Structure 1
Amino acid sequence: MAKERKKIIKTRLGEREITEEGIIYFSRGLIGFDDKRDFALIQISETSPFLLLQSLEDHTLGLVVADPYSFMDDYEVRLSDAEKRILRVESVGQIAVLVTVTIPPGRPDETTLNLGGPIVVNTEAKRGMQVPQVDSKYPSHFRPANEESS
């Protein structure tokens, strides 16, 4: 078995170690960051449902993301045939869906998920793409139910 090559990168959270096999390539970049193509997905902490999608080209660019299914069951992302080809998707089992998270400073109870612009990753091919859902019933600022208040 080949040994994974590791490297240290700078992130918004300080230095983190990643493996080269963990790098995800975005052929179109992300919306607003079209020129950034290589990202690493970094766990923020053992207990956090949030991850950091960290640019390897710009250490100041790290987006907080989450698995939307941790917050809701009935979320559906549509991919065109062209998007499936770019992502090299052969089966639904290769796909991971992430959404960007906005946490207002000092107001974590007002956290929102962007359900209108999910990020789809082929976990086997290490290819990613942001896939706006044009006719989506999902808002770009969805507030998940606060579990503690229910």
Structure 2
Amino acid sequence: MGFEDKHEFTLLQLKDGSPFLVLQSMDDPRLGLLVADPYSFLEDYPIRVGEAEQKLLRLQNIRQVAVLVTVSIPKGEPEKTALNLTGPILINHQAKLGLQVPQVDGKFPNQVYLHMPQE
């Protein structure tokens, strides 16, 4: 939503087995977003996807879609790492299409803080 002029992205794995990835812009090498699979941290995270979004993503079944959420790590405060649950990014890996789908039902808080050990 915030990068409407950027259309080409790739997912980069940070480390084997890590739930964190970088959604890297192919249009602007300075733009990369830290993202994660929310289901690595939450058991239940329902997402509403309207008909318009389903058509844009060319979704025919749930197995086609990957769900990612952005991750924020405040500078100097890694203990405040948080998942943004209000704007999941859905990716149809077969069609190679992605879309941010804002969630407005208010079922979840805006962010969930992760309790991560400090190394």
**Which category describes the TM-score, using the shorter chain as reference length?**
over 0.9
Percent sequence identity over aligned pairs: 53
Conserved? CA contact 2:79–2:116, under 8 Å: no
Report the residue type matching 2:98 in the other structure. G
Secondary structure in structure 1 of the residue aligned to 2:4: coil
Per the normalisation by structure 2, the TM-score is: 0.92
Per the normalisation by structure 1, the TM-score is: 0.74
Map residues 7-26 of structure 1 onto 2, 5 A cutoff.
none
Which residue of 65, 78, 83 corresponds with 1:95? 65
Which blocks of at least 5 consecutive residues in structure 2 are unaligned? none
Aligned residues: 117
2:111 match:
141
> Is 1:71 the equivalent of 2:41?
yes
Secondary structure in structure 2 of the residue aligned to 1:83: helix
Q: CA RMSD, aligned part only?
A: 1.3
Secondary structure in structure 1 of the residue aligned to 2:33: strand
Aligned equivalents of 1:89, 1:60: Cα separation in 2: 30
Where in structure 1 do 4 or more consecutive aligned residues deviate above 3 Å? none
CA 1:98/1:128 → structure 2, altered by over 3 Å: closer, same or farther? same
Map residues 84-123 of structure 1 onto 2, 5 A cutoff.
84-123=54-93
Q: Which structure's CA Rg is the greater one?
A: 1
Aligned equivalents of 1:47, 1:93: Cα separation in 2: 21
Per the TM alignment, residue 49 of structure 1 is displaced from its structure 2 partner at its CA by 1.9
